[in-house]
Every structure is written in C-alpha cells, then in structure tokens.
Amino acid sequence: MTTNPASAPVVSVTPADGLIDEPRRIVVSGLAPDELVAISARTVRAGGVVWYSQATFMADADGVVDLTRDAPVGGDYAEISAMGLIWSQKPVDSNSQELFPDDVMQPLKTELTAETAVGVRAQGALLQRLAAEGVERQEIREDGLVGTLFTPAGPGPHPVVVVLNGSGGGINEPRGALYASHGYQAFALGYFKAPGLSPFITETPLEYLETGLNWAHRTLKPRDGFVAVAGQSRGGELSLLLGATFPDLISAVIAYVPGAMVHGAQGAGDPARGGWQGVTWTRGGEPLTHLWQDNKAVHWHPWGGEAPPNRHHSVFFEGLKDTDLAARARIPIENTKAAVLLVSGRDDRAWPSSLYSKMVVSTLSRHDHPHLVRHLDFDDAGHAINLPFVPSTQLSREHPVSKVPYTNGGTPSGNARADEGSWRGVLAFLDELTRPAG
C-alpha cells in the first residue's frame, strides 16, 4: 500500500441537501493511490441521540473513493451501497429507536469525516429533509380527531393519503411530511397514544376512523375524490379493515407488514381491559372477533425472559390452527372497492406479514377483485420496513407500550433494501392511480 502523508482528501456529497428518500453520491478524492481512508457518519436524531457508523475504504489508482462504486474493506457494512454509512448507523450509548428529527419540518444533518492512516482529515455533510420547500404543517383537533395535516406546495386539489401508525401509537408525522413532499395531502391521524386519546389500543372504535375519513373527504376535497389509507403493522391491519368496512370512503389501501386477521390488543393493550388478549377494534359498540379470543390452539401471552424471542411470529402460526376462529377473525377484504398494495418482509419475526399479505392477495384473486392489487415481498427484510435511507440496524427492541422485548427480523442490509424498494413501490402505485388521464 502506498501512503502519501501530504495528501489532502476532499469529501463531496451530491446533492448535499435533499429529501430523505433521495440517494446521495459520497466521494472522497485527493488521496494517494491505494491509500486507506476511514469514513464516519454522525447524525443527531430525536432526543439529541447521536447515531454513528464508520467504514474503511481503499482508494483507486486516481486516489478516489466513490461509495456508489466501492465496497468497504472493513467497518459497519460490507457491500457496495451509496447510503451504507446511513443505514448502518447505530445509536451511541443509547437504545433509542427514534430515527427522525423531533421536528419533522427540520432536516437531519449527517456529518461525514474522512481520516487517513496518518491522521489527515476532511469533512463534509448532508442534509435529509422530510418536508420539501413549501410543505405546510397544521395540527388538527376537529370532530374529536387528533392528527397532523401536511399540505404540498402548489395549488390543489391534491389526492389525499390518511397515514396511520402501528402499535406504538401516536401520529406518524415523518411519513405524512414525505407524502406531502411528493404531492399528496397527507393526514397523519392518531387513534391512540396521542394527545387527548387513550394511551392504549384497546377497544378503539372504528367510528373514530370513519369520522377521520369523512373529514378528509369533506374538508380536504381531494382531487377526483381520491383518499388512500396507509399504515404499518397494526396500522396495516387497520388499513385493510377500514377498506373492508368503509369501502365507499377509500380509494386505495397501502398496508405495510399487515395482519390479515383482526388480532387482540397484544403489546398495546390496556392491562385493565383484558391486557394482551383484550379487544382491539369495536363497531357499533360491539367488539370485533379476534384471533386470541378463546383460541383453542394457543393462548397469546407476553414473552417471558430477558432475551427477545427469536421468532415471535410462531405464536401466530399456532393461532391460525384454530381454523373456525381464524375464519371469524379474518378481515373480509373482498368487500373493499379499493386498489390494494401490500408490503412485507419474508423474515418478519414479529408476525407473519408475508403470509398475511399472500392471504389477502389470494382472497382478492378468488373474488375477481376488479382493482389493482400489488404485493411487494422482500428477501432478508423483517417487520420494521421504514422510509429510505435511515438506520436499519435495530433488529431487536422493546415494544413502546408494553416494554416487552421482541425481534423484528431481517438483516440491516436486507431491511435497507426493503426501505428503499417499498417506498419506490408506494410512490409508483399512487402515481399509477392518481395520474391524470391523457
């Protein structure tokens, strides 16, 4: 290896400032041929937590390292990946799972440092934005609804996406802001664990979501009446359920790692109202039958022990063996009049989202569903399929409500590919449905 102490590396990022879903070209130049350089990435995310990664590269004959072309020779990831330094980040001295800024209208800043073996350093930076220029954010507290509205720049009307979070609850503002950055009016609607709402998912009335859908139609006046619902995990289950229950209000369903069954409250349940086996959804004051309701094959219970279960999803396979109950708990997705997009990971260890998605596709096919149906199923991806170019290293976590540990599954590399591929697929799906004729 040739070492040149006088080399003066330069870090360049193209583009240096852009939306979070925009890939960047990171290049270090000015090195000696074959010189080793360590490149680190440092990002301050929600709560002031620092996330960090590092990888070492060998320069080419021109003294250049290009992350779109070059695999590291060591470090936190091991493949050619333009954004590998971002998705391989881990929190420093923290178990934080929060990937986005506290204020979604502000960008995430990642500081890049290149350092040679003789201690010569160069720095660069990139900004990742969730909200494009001109996107407006407005808190909604009307008709008992709790949410945040993101409106794109430019004149409307716009197609609308109602964004639902999973069993962590709250309001999914990051996805809402990014949908708006791509031209959709996005209503990020909380349904529990949000200001003024129950801290638990237990006995959530579907009428609350119906109110939200009606509000979106009446107030937002969507272009061509187009209203999609998009949610992940329990929000994916809910999106499918809403499509089946209120078919005249929903044009498209986007279900990330969804359930095809109605499930009990599980980790987001109220201990005082049935806990893990409590009722999740009600309609007309009546509980919807769920898979843990006197299941003859298995009893749902929180995992015991300190280590996260390696395959938490096994209990769901056991639960489906009560075929009579499974038939009653099944979401009647054939009732929907919407286009349907399903996103799943083949190594989902939280619950079997790949199987559940295939069940939905099969049901719609048997019923000759006349609208677009698409299933994106990703190798080496788990339950936590996110937006592109965020850390994908936190494979095990505590549930944010119950604090019970579980494993999401997948690999950091596989999850990163699913993050990007699923988002590209979602945008293509929505574009196909909302593109003006002609």
pLDDT in tens, 264-298: 999 899 999 998 889 999 999 999 999 999 999 98
Q: Of 270, 354, 383, 419, which one is the catalytic site residue?
A: 383
* Residue pLDDT, tens place only, 373-429: 999 999 999 999 999 999 999 888 777 777 777 789 999 999 999 999 999 999 999
Which phi and psi (to 5°) does residue 26 adopt?
A: -105, 120
Instruction: Tell whether the model's pLDDT for residue 45 goes beyond 60.
Output: yes
Q: How do residues 225-240 score in pLDDT, each as one tens digit?
A: 999 999 999 999 999 9
306 compared with 24, residue with greater pLDDT: 24
The residue-averaged pLDDT of 114-128 equals 96
From 21, 70, 76, 348, active-site residue = 348
pLDDT-derived band of residue 310, with 50, 70 and 90 as boundaries? low
pLDDT above 70: residue 304: no
Does residue 233 carry a catalytic annotation?
yes
Rounded average pLDDT over 55-74: 98
Q: How confident is the model at residue 438 (pLDDT cuts 50, 70, 90)?
A: low
pLDDT at residue 221 in the model: 98
pLDDT band at 70 (very low <50, low <70, confident <90, very high): very high
The string of pLDDT tens digits covering residues 313-330 is 688 998 999 999 999 999
Measured distance CA(9)–CA(29) in Å, rounded: 5
The reply to whether 348 belongs to the active site is yes
Both tokens assigned to 153: 């720049």
> What mean pLDDT do residues 75-104 have?
96
Lowest mean pLDDT of 56-65, 95-104, 294-303, name the range.
Answer: 294-303
Tell me what pLDDT residue 314 has: 82
Percentage of the chain surpassing pLDDT 70?
95
Confidence band for 4, pLDDT divided at 50, 70 and 90? very low
Structural domains in the chain?
A: 10-129 (2.60.40.2240), 136-434 (3.40.50.1820)
In this predicted structure, what is the pLDDT of residue 2?
Answer: 41
Q: What is the mean pLDDT of the chain?
A: 94
| Phi/psi of residue 53, nearest 5 degrees | -150, 160
Distance from C-alpha of 170 to C-alpha of 244, rounded to nearest angstrom: 23
pLDDT higher than threshold 60 for residue 6? no
Average pLDDT over residues 56-60: 98
* Active-site residue identified among 7, 88, 233, 357: 233
Higher-confidence residue of 276 and 56: namely 56
User: What angle (nearest 5°) sits at the alpha carbon of residue 122, between those of residues 118 and 127?
Assistant: 145
Confidence band of 312 (pLDDT split at 50, 70, 90): low
Whole-number pLDDT of residue 397: 78
